[in-house]
């Protein structure tokens, strides 16, 4: 019995070490760029009070263009081979559609109630990833000669920074078909792309994950970010001090600060908390939320998150 | 007496041949040991590999040929190459920190030994013949020989990841 207990304890400890020793893995997804969609006619047009708005029609691009499938499939395969499988955008779109249909039809067996969905929930229903791999290619033609101009950009969905890249023009060919040239372009560029992505991850492990923190206020709140609490500094400076104490090497930038809002960019958060658990923007900002809820501030607030890298605190109430 | 002389002569010739072969091998290794070579991209290879031309230097063209494959694998691991013709893009070395060669000396010594494991990651891309333009006499007593080889970069990277010499893309997650 004693042996059994010891064995269970060892297994549990090992499980904890394995599960807590890993940072939160970002999701990646290849998305055709707006330029590519526009050049190839995969756009939806809306009339917005007289001005024409164009947005990419990804679903039609996936249904009608075999080349985009070929390129994405090849990139997905090469990333999976490196132990980093990507989210497939076409599948993500289909899953969202089927979920929406299921949610509309679902009702409670007892009360007949339907699924609760706020307008914000509805907006958040979109194919998303932490890092978007934006894909663009153009076929250059000079007489019978063809070449491919290829561009891959890894974009952080929260900080809007380009974290990886690979681009260039392939060798011109008189005879090769476009899919062959595209395949060569992917093979030629993926090593450089994964290497620059690796550098981004190395930087993240060394200097912490870069996130965005926003502070907003409800319009019925009687305080603001210039309010002084118990003879302390103004609230805006109090928040800045908290960030300086809790970020990796005190790194963050105050991009905007008014009496009603604040925006902090390049906030470097540790990958793990004191308990060794992997944390993201929400978990990190939750500590700031608790700090502001406690005395002497006693400010009720609402914490809103967006993926791994963006969190907002709205001051005044839940 | 005559027979004795004959046997001694045969033994002496045999000894000299053996010593000469060993000397040539050492000479080839010596040329390789300082890793004096140039690497250039030769075109887009199949997925997971690189087609490169490696230029090796030696007083004897044969040594340059025999050390070419070793140099190519070493170049992919530690040097990389610039992009250029045939749609080639720049390739950065698999190991970005040059100090890793010294840190994992035991592994690399055995990996690059004669007949070592490096041979599993490289193959000749031609039938063994060297184009006339790839056999250059650069000085009175030195040749520069270019051979085209195919290096299995993905498998090489996986090996280095498994040995903890380079980090995988998913390590830490």
Q: Which of A82, A170, A195 sits opposite B87 (nearest CB)?
A: A170
Q: What is the mean pLDDT of residues A110-124?
A: 84
pLDDT at residue A172, as a whole number: 87
**What is the phi-psi region of residue B94: left when phi exceeds 0, alpha when psi lies from -120 to 50, beta otherwise?**
alpha
pLDDT at A16: 44
Token readout for A207 is 């200097």
Residue B169 lies in a domain: no
Residue B141 is assigned to a structural domain of this protein:
yes
* pLDDT greater at residue B84 or residue A50: A50
**B154 and A CB contact within 8 Å:** yes
Q: Is the pLDDT of residue A14 over 50?
A: no
Highest mean pLDDT among A253-262, B4-13, B61-70, B87-96: A253-262
Pick from B85, B89, B92: which is nearest to A188 by CB? B89
Split at pLDDT 50, 70, 90, the class of B29 is low
Q: To probe the interface with B, which of A21, A181, A195, A203 has the most B CB atoms within 10 Å? A: A195
Q: Most B CBs within 10 Å: which of A27, A77, A82, A137, as the mutation test of the B interface?
A: A82
Average pLDDT over residues A141-157: 93
- pLDDT over 70 at A214, yes or no: yes
What pLDDT is stored for residue A10 in this prediction? 56
User: For residue A18, what pLDDT is reported?
Assistant: 45
Reported as a single tens digit per residue, the pLDDT across A224-251 is: 999 998 776 899 999 999 999 999 999 9
ipTM over 0.85 threshold: no
Indicate the SS3 state at residue A303.
strand
pLDDT of residue B28: 60
Asked if residue A258 has pLDDT above 90, the reply is: yes
Lowest model confidence (mean pLDDT) among A140-154, A245-259, A299-313, B134-148: B134-148
Of residues B86, B91, B172, nearest to A205 (C-beta): B172
Residue A19, pLDDT above cutoff 60: no
Is residue B167 situated within a structural domain? no
Instruction: Answer yes or no: are the C-beta atoms of A128 and A307 closer than 8 Å.
Output: yes
**pLDDT exceeds 50 at position B10:** yes
Interhelix angle A66-81/A89-105, rounded to 10 degrees, is 100
For B115-122, what is the mean pLDDT? 94
Is A34:A40 a contact under the CB 8 Å cutoff? no
**Backbone phi, then psi, for B41, in 5-degree steps?**
-75, 140
Q: Is residue B149 part of a domain?
A: yes
Query: Sorting pLDDT into bands at 50, 70 and 90, what band is B173?
Result: confident
The helix, strand and coil proportions of chain B, stated in percent and rounded to the nearest 5, come to: 50, 20, 30
- B122-124 and B142-151: which strand pairing? antiparallel
Domain range enclosing B14 = 2-162
pLDDT above 60: residue A20: no
pLDDT in the model for residue A140: 93
Domain definitions of chain A by residue range: 28-93+121-205, 208-315
Q: Is the pLDDT of residue A117 over 90?
A: no
Within-domain flag for B168: no
pLDDT of residue B66: 77
Mean pLDDT, rounded, for A72-95? 93
Q: What pLDDT is recorded for position B19?
A: 55
Q: What is the pTM of this model?
A: 0.83
Number of domains, chain B: 1
Best CATH choice for the domain A28-93+121-205 from the list 1.20.1440, 3.30.160, 3.40.50, 1.10.3470: 3.30.160
Is the per-residue pLDDT at A17 higher than 60? no
Indicate the pLDDT class of residue B39, thresholds 50, 70 and 90.
very high
Q: What is the mean pLDDT of chain A?
A: 89
């Amino acid at each position: 019995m004693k042996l059994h207990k010891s064995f269970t304890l060892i297994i549990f400890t090992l499980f904890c070490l394995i599960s807590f020793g890993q940072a939160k893995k970002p999701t990646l997804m290849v998305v055709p760029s707006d330029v590519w969609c526009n050049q190839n006619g995969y756009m939806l047009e809306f009339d917005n009070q007289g001005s024409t708005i164009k947005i990419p029609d990804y679903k039609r691009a996936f249904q009608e263009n075999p080349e985009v499938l070929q390129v994405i499939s090849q990139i997905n395969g090469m990333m999976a081979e490196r132990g980093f499988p990507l989210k497939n955008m076409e599948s993500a779109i289909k899953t969202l559609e089927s979920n929406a249909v299921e949610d509309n039809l679902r009702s409670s067996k007892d009360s007949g109630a339907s699924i609760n969905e706020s307008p914000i929930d509805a907006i958040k229903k979109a194919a998303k990833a932490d890092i978007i791999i934006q894909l663009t290619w153009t076929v250059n033609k000079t007489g019978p000669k063809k070449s491919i101009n290829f561009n891959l950009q890894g974009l952080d969905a929260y900080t809007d920074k380009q974290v990886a890249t690979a681009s260039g023009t392939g060798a011109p060919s008189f005879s090769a078909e476009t899919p062959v040239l595209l395949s060569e372009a992917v093979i030629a560029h993926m090593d450089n792309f994964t290497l620059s992505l690796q550098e981004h991850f190395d930087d993240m492990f060394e200097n912490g994950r870069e996130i965005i923190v926003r502070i907003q206020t409800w319009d019925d709140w009687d305080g603001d970010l210039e309010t002084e609490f118990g003879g302390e500094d103004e609230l805006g400076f109090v928040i800045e001090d908290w960030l300086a104490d809790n970020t990796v090497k005190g790194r963050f930038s105050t991009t905007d600060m008014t009496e009603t809002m604040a925006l902090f960019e390049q906030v470097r958060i540790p990958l793990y908390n004191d308990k060794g658990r992997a944390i993201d923007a929400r978990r990190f900002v939750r500590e700031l939320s608790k700090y502001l809820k406690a005395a002497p501030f006693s400010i009720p607030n609402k914490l809103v998150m967006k993926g791994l890298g963006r969190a907002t605190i709205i001051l005044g109430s839940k | 007496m005559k027979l004795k002389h004959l046997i001694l002569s045969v033994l002496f010739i045999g000894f000299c041949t053996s010593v000469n072969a060993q000397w040539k091998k050492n000479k080839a290794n010596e040329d390789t040991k300082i890793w004096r070579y140039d690497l250039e991209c030769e075109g887009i290879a199949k997925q997971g590999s690189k087609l490169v031309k490696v230029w090796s230097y030696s007083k004897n063209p044969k040594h340059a040929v025999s050390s070419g494959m070793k140099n190519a694998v070493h170049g992919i691991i530690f040097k990389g190459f610039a992009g250029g013709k045939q749609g080639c893009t720049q390739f950065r070395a698999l190991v970005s920190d040059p100090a890793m060669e010294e840190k994992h000396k035991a592994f690399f010594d055995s990996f690059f030994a004669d007949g070592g494991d490096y041979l599993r990651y490289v193959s000749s891309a031609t039938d063994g013949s060297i184009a006339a333009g790839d056999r250059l006499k650069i000085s009175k007593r030195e040749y520069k020989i270019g051979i085209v080889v195919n290096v299995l970069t993905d498998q090489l990277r996986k090996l280095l990841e498994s040995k903890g010499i380079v980090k995988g893309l998913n390590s830490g997650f």
